[in-house]
């Protein structure tokens, strides 16, 4: 069989195994005809591994479609599918009985599947993939239409000319993002990519609207996650929330200034004792005539100093038994501040007191803990106004679907940079008289990096088009969970290829390693996405089917 046929064979087996395991876990988690979260949590480890594997299998299906473009692409698809097969076996071996299955699904070990997996993991096969990657520095061609390729190249040049020269300095000194980078990206329309054209943006309702955002994000993240790659995230979240839930007057008032880059944005959702479980939000908003008065503490508010709009999720219904149904979203105006600490005060006595949280990576943006004391917000700044009361959680979830895709794109940029750094170093560095790039183990590492990047990129591209059509909510969570975990492995392998120099701050790969670590934590922690979104959705669908 051809490489692509063998990849298809593996993916068919993987799909069947996942379906069988999901069905068994759904039966074990069922109560009164519905999925019981408490019963599912009795099998958390299996559910987590199954969700993670399901995300990887979904990516493998998209990799097979990508493999139709040519021989190298087909080889990448086969290598990735074989890797996923090995991962599934490693995660689930010994756990089938916990699912009520006597043994591993027979489809995983039939003769043609076993042969295909062997072909995809053969080191000589992987070496041939690596030879192509070592020549190009790329995992594989992107196969974009001319207009999208032009967008990608424009932002790649900006990243190389403006971002990369300052990336190491900003990271080591934990400096602010230079203003010329923000203004330069604003001139390029970076903040307008997902905002509808009628409000000053570039989105026109086509399937490629979000793909533009993915391409731009990857290229900027390739330059630096903290200096440029994450600048789109907050406008993406706040813009989507306003578009989905705001009144027409609010859209006209806020969206054009976000699209132009005139107003920078921050998101204040997380609290010191409340992370992914937003139903426990404690920050309160109390009505006082035409104002709301905000009180409480928000944390991990990235870019909260530089931002002039803060998207704040607060409890407007003080009956805590209502959980997430008592939450609403506000757009809060504040002055711009530079540096690592700031205090904002209102004439009436309202105050925000903020400090940046020191972090090992993802520097430049600065993530703040903000104490809010009696801060007044006009009722007209409640997204949706009267109709927006109690809708904050739902608007936030819609906004975070796009943000999760954007985070996957950030992971792709980190991975691409790590691959390029590895290729250059492996070709230049000689060990025992031989270039690192000529060793079989190095080639295996680089081939696996390329296969992982190509599969995740193909998945992200297709999810972008699905979300633009109003579909793909589950897949957005899957690609985020998968790409962010993958970025950690790719950055780690890149650092290992560099040896001791990979641990030195003078080499870019050390920054990539610490930056990659944050990706599985924000915009939906890895475990929460796996258990509360991916596994729960898959089990619900299996039970319904």
| Active site members | 523
User: How far, in Å, CA of 451 to CA of 372, rounded?
Assistant: 47
**Is the confidence at residue 72, as pLDDT, over 90?**
yes
Residue written as token pair 């509808």? 196
Q: Determine phi and psi for 255, rounding to 5 degrees.
A: -65, -40
Quick check: 258 and 235 in contact, CB under 8 A?
yes
The pLDDT score that the predictor gives to residue 273 is 79
3-121: what fold?
Butyryl-CoA Dehydrogenase, subunit A; domain 3 (1.20.140)
Q: Which residues on neighbouring strands pair with residue 35, listed in sequence order?
A: 30
**Is the confidence at residue 245, as pLDDT, over 70?**
yes
The pLDDT score that the predictor gives to residue 275 is 59
Q: CATH number of the domain at 265-391, out of 3.40.50.720, 2.40.110.10, 3.20.20.70, 1.10.10.60?
A: 2.40.110.10
Residue written as token pair 């039966």? 27
Task: Provide the residue ranges of all domains of the chain, joining segments of one domain with +.
Answer: 3-121, 265-391
Tokens of 315: 């409890």
Of how many residues is the chain composed?
545
- Which segments within 211-346 are labelled E, that is strand? 265-268, 284-288, 291-302, 309-315, 327-333, 341-345
The pLDDT score that the predictor gives to residue 280 is 79
pLDDT band at 9 (very low <50, low <70, confident <90, very high): very high
User: How far, in Å, CA of 427 to CA of 66, rounded?
Assistant: 28
pLDDT band at 323 (very low <50, low <70, confident <90, very high): confident
The tens digit of pLDDT for each residue in 249-306 reads 999 999 999 999 999 999 999 999 775 667 678 999 999 999 999 999 999 999 999 9
The tens digit of pLDDT for each residue in 444-476 reads 999 999 999 999 999 999 999 999 998 999 999
**Is the confidence at residue 527, as pLDDT, over 90?**
yes
The tens digit of pLDDT for each residue in 123-161 reads 999 999 999 999 999 999 999 999 999 999 999 999 999
pLDDT band at 114 (very low <50, low <70, confident <90, very high): very high
Is the pTM here over 0.75, yes or no? yes
Residue written as token pair 């839930």? 245
Quick check: 239 and 258 in contact, CB under 8 A?
yes
Q: Which one, of 232, 248, 250, lies nearest residue 331 by Cα?
A: 250
The pLDDT score that the predictor gives to residue 1 is 87
* Mean pLDDT of the region 508-516: 97
Residue written as token pair 């490629």? 208
Quick check: 180 and 162 in contact, CB under 8 A?
yes
User: How far, in Å, CA of 112 to CA of 10, rounded?
Assistant: 9
The pLDDT score that the predictor gives to residue 448 is 98
User: How far, in Å, CA of 404 to CA of 217, rounded?
Assistant: 12
Q: Quote the DSSP letter at residue 176.
A: P
């Amino acid at each position: 069989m051809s490489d692509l046929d063998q990849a298809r064979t593996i993916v068919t087996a993987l799909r069947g195994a996942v379906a069988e395991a999901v069905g068994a876990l759904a039966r074990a988690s069922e109560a009164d005809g519905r999925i019981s979260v408490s019963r599912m949590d009795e099998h958390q480890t299996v559910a987590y591994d199954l969700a993670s594997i399901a995300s990887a299998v979904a990516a493998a299906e998209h990799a097979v479609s990508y493999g139709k473009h040519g021989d190298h692409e087909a080889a990448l698809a086969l290598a990735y599918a074989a890797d996923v097969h090995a991962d599934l076996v490693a995660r689930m071996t010994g756990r089938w009985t916990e699912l009520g299955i006597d043994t591993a699904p027979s489809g995983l070990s039939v003769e043609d599947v076993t042969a295909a997996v062997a072909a995809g993991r053969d080191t000589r096969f992987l070496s041939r993939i690596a030879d192509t990657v070592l020549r190009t520095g790329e995992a594989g061609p992107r196969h974009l239409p001319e207009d999208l390729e032009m967008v990608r190249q424009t932002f790649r040049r900006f990243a190389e000319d403006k971002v990369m020269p300052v990336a190491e300095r900003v990271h080591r000194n934990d400096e602010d993002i230079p203003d010329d980078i923000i203004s330069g990206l604003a001139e390029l329309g970076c903040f307008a990519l997902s905002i509808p054209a009628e409000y000053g943006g570039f989105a026109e309702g086509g399937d490629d609207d979000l793909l533009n955002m993915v391409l731009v994000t990857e290229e900027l993240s390739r330059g630096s996650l903290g200096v440029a790659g994450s600048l789109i995230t907050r406008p993406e979240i706040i813009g989507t929330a306003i578009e989905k839930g705001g009144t027409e007057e609010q859209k006209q008032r806020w969206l054009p200034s976000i699209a132009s880059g005139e107003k920078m944005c921050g998101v204040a959702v997380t609290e010191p004792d409340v992370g992914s479980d937003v139903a426990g939000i404690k920050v309160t908003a109390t009505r006082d005539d035409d104002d709301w008065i905000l009180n409480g503490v928000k944390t991990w508010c990235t870019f909260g100093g530089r931002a002039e709009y803060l998207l704040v999720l607060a409890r407007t219904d003080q009956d805590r038994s209502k959980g997430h149904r008592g939450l609403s979203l506000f757009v809060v105006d504040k002055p711009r501040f530079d540096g690592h600490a700031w205090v904002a005060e209102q004439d009436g006595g309202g105050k925000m007191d903020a400090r940046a949280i020191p972090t090992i990576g993802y520097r430049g943006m600065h993530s703040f803990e903000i104490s809010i004391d009696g801060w007044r917000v006009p009722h007209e700044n409640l997204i949706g106004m009267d109709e927006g009361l109690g809708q904050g959680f739902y608007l936030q979830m819609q906004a975070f679907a796009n943000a999760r895709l954007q985070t996957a794109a950030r992971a792709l940029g980190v991975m691409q940079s790590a691959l390029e750094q590895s290729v250059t170093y492996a070709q230049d560095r000689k060990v025992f008289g031989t270039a690192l790039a000529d060793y079989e183990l190095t080639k295996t590492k680089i081939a696996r990096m390329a296969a992982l990047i190509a599969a995740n990129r193909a998945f992200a591209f297709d999810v972008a088009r699905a979300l633009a059509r109003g579909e793909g909510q589950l897949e957005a969570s899957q690609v985020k969970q998968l790409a962010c975990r993958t970025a950690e492995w790719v950055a780690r392998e890149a650092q290992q290829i560099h040896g001791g120099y990979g641990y030195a701050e003078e080499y870019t790969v050390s920054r990539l390693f610490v930056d990659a670590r944050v990706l599985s934590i924000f915009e939906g922690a890895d475990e929460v996405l796996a258990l509360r979104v991916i596994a729960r959705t898959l089990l619900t669908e299996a039970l319904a089917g």
